[in-house]
Chains A and B, each alone.
Chain A
Amino acid sequence: MHDLASFKDQIAVIGVGNTRYGNFPDADEYGLAAQAFRNAIDDCGINKNNIDGLLVCRIPYYARMGEVLGIDPRWTLTLPPHGRMSGMGIIEAAQALATGQAKYVALMYANIGRSRRVNYGGDENPSTWDPWGFTSPGAAHAMMFRRHMELYGTTTRQLAEVSVAVRYHATLNPDAVMRNPITIEDHESARFITAPLRLLDYCLINDGAVCIILTTKDRAQDAAKRPVMISGFGCRDSFTQSAISNFDMDFWYPAIQQAGVEARAMAGVGHDDIDALMCYDNFSPTVLFSLEGLGFCEKGESGNYVEGGTLQLGGKLPVNTDGGHLSNSYMQGWALNVEAVRQLRGECGARQVKDCEVVQYVQSTPCTRSIIYTRG
């Protein structure tokens, strides 16, 4: 049996790839995912026929994906199209590699929600609360943020710091969907979707695909680029209060705390070692909840913590340097893991974090996961 600590630095990311992000009505999931796969294969320089592990997420049929890529894996896993599967998938694939079930795993994600006009609410996601008109993940986050405002005095101007910082990073990313800079005033005057949240608190909805290729430490030495190591991870689900989807009365605080403690312990790093945070930003309040849960600030103090550009490049803790879900691309965490890799390789140009050695990913959701990546 494995001691979790023995996973430290055993599995590496060797290849990452993505499509362009936007509105592609003529493409389907397989076509987009195949482009991302080809880019990830080019990135790591291995023969695609060496891929013997396949993980697909938000892609309808794993076998069709394998057919399109021309591979017969010995390990395959499908994850549901929920926005919290990237952390779970990467950890599952790492364990498959560590236990010898596969030698190279390709993790594939595609989303065509923009061109197919997905609303993320209403009859798409029936729930107990539809008769009262309560629907959509954004409304659940609005419900949490109102609670945070009431409990701790957090303001929407403080919340705006998240959207402004992440948008600033998108202005430095030539591939980002939203590249015009915004101010706190722009945030405060944007239209409400579900008050207290406004348009600029909501993630984008766009098409695109991401591929990540993982292998073991030893095999990673043969890849084209210096590997990025999975140094730690932590996990905790919150299912016992699931009647209100995407909502937690305590902002998932205990779960985030546990995932953070586990990930840091496995990686052997402290808060001050973390050079950048890739934080699942489906809605801007999630970033505040994540900062508190991970212990970058005290519980209830995230509003004060983020004031004055803390989360911007050059600030105390750069967050979502690619522009995140709010401004780069809604790839449901997958693109944030790609950005972690690119930062650690030093490939990020104008948005590069100086001397970047440790990057943490976190998804604060009913399935909370955190992964700590380091330079190999």
Chain B
Amino acid sequence: MSNEYAKPLPKITKLTKPFWDHAKAGRVAVQLCRDCGDVRFPPSPVCPRCLSDNQGWRVTQGRGTLESWVEFHRAYWNGFADDLPYRVCLVRLYEGPVFVSNLVGPSDHSKLGAPVRAVFEAVTDEITLPKFELTGE
């Protein structure tokens, strides 16, 4: 499976590995400062609010609101050529951080503030991408 996957894959680092481990298990996690409670994504080597090294992860509900969306009509990687046009969304998780992802499923009712939930797509043996769909609520 991973031999055929032609889209860019994330570079897993010590900092980002917990996110991808959670994603593989069907969870969206954000980095959490154990000292001041600040949450964020992508992760940071120190807390931008209090500069602490003491960082962990918080599993989110995987739900949030649609803050914007676009539709790509140009493929900047060959691996996306067959998907054109494909949709990218901007989601604000209920826990606070904003997250860029793909909007999958019916999108006729896309509007600012529409509720969305994460769905998970295993694209290789190692990598699962959280994507989002409108809940229709």
Contacts and interface: CB of A to CB of B under 8 A. Distances in A.
Contacts of A304: none
Contacts of B67: 147, 249
Contacts of A123: 8, 77
Nearest to B16: A128
Contacts of A143: 68-70, 88, 90
A134 B88 contact: yes
Contacts of A240: 48
B72 interface: yes
Interface size class of A (residues with CB under 8 A): 20 to 34
A151 interface: yes
A151 B66 CA distance: 12
Contacts of A122: 76-77
A133 interface: yes
B28 to A, nearest CB: 13
Contact of A133 (B41, B72, B111, B127): B72
Given A121-B76, A147-B112, A196-B70, A132 B88 contact: yes
A4 B44 CA distance: 35
A131 interface: yes
Interface string A287-326: 0000000000000000000000000000000000000000
Nearest to A195: B71
Interface residues of B, number: 34
A143 B98 CA distance: 13
A213 B71 CA distance: 43
A130 interface: yes
Given A132-B88, A243-B42, A194 B102 contact: no
The 9 closest A-B pairs by CB, nearest first: A122-B76, A150-B112, A130-B8, A195-B71, A121-B76, A192-B73, A147-B68, A129-B100, A142-B70
11 contacts: A130-B10, A132-B131, A143-B68, A147-B67, A147-B90, A150-B111, A150-B112, A193-B73, A194-B71, A243-B42, A244-B90
Given A132-B129, A241-B98, A244-B98, 19 more contacts: A123-B77, A131-B7, A131-B9, A131-B129, A132-B88, A132-B100, A133-B8, A133-B72, A133-B83, A133-B88, A139-B72, A142-B70, A144-B68, A146-B70, A147-B68, A147-B90, A150-B68, A194-B73, A195-B73
